Amino acid sequence: MKDKIFPRLGYYYTNELWYSKAYQTLNVSTRELLHCFITELRFSWKRQKKKYNNISDISFTEVQFKKRYDYCSRTYLSARDKLIEVGLIKQIYKGGHGRGDMGRYKLLFVDGVMLDHQRWRKYPQENWKGEIPKPKNQIVGVKTQWKKGESGRKKKATLLKYTLNGSIPPIKVDPKKKKPPIKVDPK
């Protein structure tokens, strides 16, 4: 999967965004993911003014992020969650239901977004942790997980019939003991 990052294009961060509490709380990997979302913006010129066409249809996948920056999956997810928490992006569509089905996000700090939709301005007083997507119930491995209070230790020994040190004698003869010689009839 190829990302559409063009080296000659860029984005101007306003001082209002740069010095906001929402932006200043981001770590390096989260800022890199934010910039990846920005590079997915497409614009057109109308009357000598730049107009963004896809503010609500931005997608930059975990695979693209891992390939570009050599981070792990958890870094992508925690960076995305932080961006949602501080109000810089909003998830529009979850995705992940099949091949090519990507999550879609809306950037809430770009020119063209109404002021009352720019959540990042209210960040220290409000956060949007409740909108962070959570995985559905885990289906695989539920029966084999340890229950509360278990240590993972087997309650009964499983090698009783093959052990020499247990209370039950082994089924086979001990190989260390000598066998009685076989008598051969001279006839």
Q: Which domain holds residue 84?
A: 15-131
- Per-residue confidence (pLDDT) for residue 40, from 0 to 100: 83
- Cβ atoms of 91 and 103 within 8 Å: the answer is yes
Q: Tell whether 139 is covered by a domain.
A: no
Calculate mean pLDDT across residues 94-104.
84
Q: Tell whether 35 is covered by a domain.
A: yes
Specify the higher pLDDT residue, 106 or 5: 106
pTM strictly above 0.75? no
Q: Tell whether 58 is covered by a domain.
A: yes
Q: Which tokens sit at 101? A: 């089905």
Q: What is the pLDDT of residues 125-177, one digit of tens each?
A: 988 888 888 877 666 677 777 777 676 666 665 555 555 555 655 566 666 66
Question: What total of structural domains would you count in the chain?
Answer: 1
Q: Tell whether 114 is covered by a domain.
A: yes
Q: Which tokens sit at 77? A: 């997810």
Q: Tell whether 171 is covered by a domain.
A: no
Looking at residue 44, which CATH number applies to its domain? 1.10.10.10
